[in-house]
Amino acid sequence: MKGSIGPVERVMSRDTWVVAGAVMTIVLLAGVYTINGVGMNMSALDMTRMAGPIGEPMAMGGSHPWTFGYALLVFLMWWVMMIAMMTPSAAPTLLLYTALKRHGSDRTSATKLSLIFLAGYLLIWGGFSLLATGAHWGTEKLGLVDGPMMALASRPAAGVVLIAAGLFQFSALKTACLKQCSSPADFLTRYRRTGSRGALLMGMHHGAYCFGCCWALMALLFVGGIMNLYWIVGLALYVLAEKIVPKPRFFSRLTGAFLISWGLLCIFTSV
């Protein structure tokens, strides 16, 4: 009968909704956890309200000692924050992957494979979070980052990070990684694998491209404040936009020019 939906189509629709629902749930939970401060002394709302100008964080006393427990907490803060920020930008590739699996030999396990793909993607950002935790510790020990407010305590230092992030927008690595991130169909065709192991590797592969594309942008959190919600939301929206706009390379380079100009302004106005 014309217009009727058969059992196969219903399964296909269910797979898409299950995966989309899982993505939204993960982002929501990670977002709530981030807003509540991820176990820190202050919530992200408090840190956002108390944030000072770039390079001039509010003085809040001494830093928290870096014990193993605190380092683990900082790592979880970074990883949960990356999950909240980066999962939406992976959604187009993930949902296309689900659609392709529904039509292939793995159609009976499309939902499971899609969630494994997402797990592989998030594992890469777990690796980034480990590196970010090390950078967080190192910059705080050097006195470059204010411990309580988790932001660079020097306008020249903030300017250098802005300029470095801007220059990276013009790099060949940025262009190559952005091309893969903004072309889900090309990526899924080129790196197609089957089975659970293949789904995990594809997710990690996509995560690696995304990491290569966005790591410098994530470093900007040190400029605005790692737990500053304006910067968290702004960067998350920018990363998503960079992957879906019609001319991502032009958009990326325009942003690079803006970041370089902003960085120079920070340096020159600090003299």
Contacts of 77 (CB under 8 A, 6+ apart): 34, 38, 39, 40, 226, 227
Judged against a pLDDT cut of 80, whether residue 267 lies above it is answered with yes
Q: How confident is the model at residue 138 (pLDDT cuts 50, 70, 90)?
A: very high
The larger pLDDT score, comparing residue 74 to residue 51, is at: 74
Phi, psi angles (nearest 5°) of residue 169 = -60, -20
Sign for the CA dihedral angle at 187, 191, 194, 200 comes to negative
Comparing 3 with 77, the larger pLDDT belongs to 77
Counting residues of the chain whose pLDDT is more than 70, the rounded percentage is 88
Mean pLDDT of the chain: 86
User: Among candidates 259, 113, 92, which has minimal Cα distance to 180?
Assistant: 92
Query: Is the pLDDT confidence value at 12 over 60?
Result: no
The strand pair at 151-152 and 145-146 is best described as antiparallel
Residue 94 token pair? 């993930």
Give the pTM.
0.87
Residue 7, pLDDT score: 42
Contact of 132 with 78, CB cutoff 8 Å: yes
- Average pLDDT rounded to a whole number, residues 21-41: 80
- Alpha-carbon distances, residue 164 vs 158, 183, 217, 219 (angstroms): 10, 26, 10, 10
Residue 9 scores a pLDDT above 70: no
